Amino acid sequence: MTKSINKLLLAMALSFGIVPFAYGEETDLYDFLWLDPDKKVYVLQNKIFPKTKTIYFDIGYVTNDSSEFQDTNGGQVRIGYFFNEVLGIELNHAQYGSSNNSAYESVKAVNGLEPFIRRPLTSTSLFAIWSPFYGKINTFNKIFYFDWYFGLGTGAYKMETNLEKVVDPSTPSQFETESFVPIQLKSGLKFHINRRLHLGVEFINTNFQAGSAENPNADDWKQSNDLIFSMGVSF
């Protein structure tokens, strides 16, 4: 999962190295060297899909890499509002489900022990959204428009862990629920199909403090990463 996320981020970085994008307002000032020094030209960059005072609603499929011994995925719903072309606010909720993967089965078979697991259950977050970039891609003689945005948020993050079982093997095997107030960072691309419909891909990095199998009584910063593919509507 981590490798796939790294490949996605690399592809996004390379894409923006060759795809034209715009930053700022629709009227930007440009200097042309062949004009008189005292003359300037304003270029109007028409936005085909404006965001000011729009509401959007998305549903998405989530994959998560919080534990190397679990296959974790789920669903997400989010609703947001843009105050202007750059700034917005968003509320989202994600629900997760997990199952043991081949790494878990291998450790259990070789060592006869249960590996340490911490996996997400739910996430409810409020984000401040900053969307400074927009651009277009010309593919197969058709132009696709997109927005590139960033977010900073927090909320309620619930996970479950078998930490007590790992620390004390004599205890029954069970998972206990943990609740965190995380710091969340995200970045995403929204591709416009038309004025109402859009597709999206998003990466969320969730940071929280919790104990570990090595130091169960000392809270250190941990990370959980989500990759989300979504579709939605704007009003």
Q: Any idea of the CA torsion for 9, 63, 163, 215, to the nearest 10 degrees?
A: 10
CA gap 228, 78 in Å, rounded: 12
pLDDT the model gives residue 138: 84
Residue numbers of the chain with a pLDDT score lower than 70? 1-46
pLDDT the model gives residue 19: 46
State the sign of the Cα–Cα–Cα–Cα dihedral 146, 152, 158, 161: positive
CA gap 65, 224 in Å, rounded: 6
